[in-house]
Structure 1
Amino acid sequence: MDYQTITLDITDGLAVLTLNRPDKMNALSAQMRAEITHAMRDAGARARAVVMTGAGRAFCTGQDLGDAGGSPDLERVLRDEYVPMLETITNCPVPTIAAVNGPAAGAGANLALSADVVIATESAYFLQVFTRIGLIPDAGGTWFMPRQMGMAKAMGASLFADRITARQADDWGMIWEAVADDAFEAQWRKRAEYLATGPTKAFTRVKQSIRDTYAHTLAEQLEIEAHLQGECGKSRDFQEGVMAFLQKRPASFEGR
């Protein structure tokens, strides 16, 4: 696909997907949603870690309200365009990072929360703006927020539509970390490179076990852990990790 609204760079096992409509603060158009879906599938097949970030001063300010014109069929847009995009991100076989470089509002906030790890610059903020225009949080917001920040904070964020600073989001457990603006890119690249050179099979199974945990009883989860750990124990990366530990050297993981 010839991307018009995003860019995708894959280098040394690390894919960086950049939302690239800076003049629109990276608001989500139908074309952008299709391109994100395509790029995430491609990156998941070819890279060992994927980063989503934004060009310019915003990460993503949500739905482009001028894209559909008139009165769009929101139910159709969500089912046909958002669901495939979000499922592609959450089902990506390798770790994903949202590097939130600026405001993340509406569906843009929930696009960020769909990643495995969220790293935000301290000047960024998250905003569930929906009730200001008579809507409810969508793009997975009603699923992601209670799990990542708790029911009380999720309810307040949704009803009051207050800005949540990156530092608040960090303190509340909504994101992994908030980073000083001048250290932001170096930090997310450091984290991403760690994932892109790590034990990919183990990372994939971490994603699977953590994301599915709320659907299982403790007994079921213990059985799943045993099964997935058995698979990891047969990998070349496990053998390399043990040898590196015994030899007191850094491990050189191949992702196999």
Structure 2
Amino acid sequence: MSDARTPGGDPLLSVDGLCTNYGKIRILRDVSLTVGEGEVVALLGLNGAGKTTTMRSILGLTPPRAGSIRYAGQDVTGWPAYKIARLGVGYVPEGRRMFKDLSVLENLQLAENGRSGSWTIARVFDHLPKLAELRARKAGRLSGGEQEMLAIGRALVSNPRLLLVDEPSQGLAPLIVEDVYRILGELKQTGVAILIVEQNALLALKISNRAYVLDSGRIVHAGPAAELAADRDRIRTLMGLEVAAR
């Protein structure tokens, strides 16, 4: 299956030969992946595989030691995070991270960065009506699922062309996780490209076009999401029985 590409022929995001260290410890080893325009891609792996480090390297939060990162035709390797964000890369971090003493509405207002686009606060409320109901509530008083929705909404009001979502199921009850993935599936229909980092393989594969599996800092599998989802034995081999059985 070929990668989805921009009108110019290149993937929206292209990571090639990425190597990233924390201090003297090598975390990522020759990681390569692509995300096409409007495509949803899952980056799967167990805890400690290097998934979050991959995302942080793409975002400019943890600069790579080697390799290249191209976004929308530009080489952004080593760029600071704020410049990458201004190009239209949104981030939903693991653990949500928000201003807990501010209301839902105030968190969204702070996240607006002046980048033109169709994702206004009103549109976010249309897609996430629960947030509209909670607009006056302080973020610190939201449930885990409500905080995840706020984190997604906060990323959307920056009008991203590419949305990076880190462990959206982390710490959430199964019913809430399904709701979060329903929202991500709906976002797919709006044309936003999404890279999802996740341990819960089957949920991520349901909404993804393609998937990569990361193990000990290396890509050990790349291919269509539907093919991997249909091969439970392959998932067991790549990620372990517990994850595959969910």
Larger Rg: 1
Q: Same fold (TM over 0.5)?
A: no
Bigger proportion of residues as helix? 1
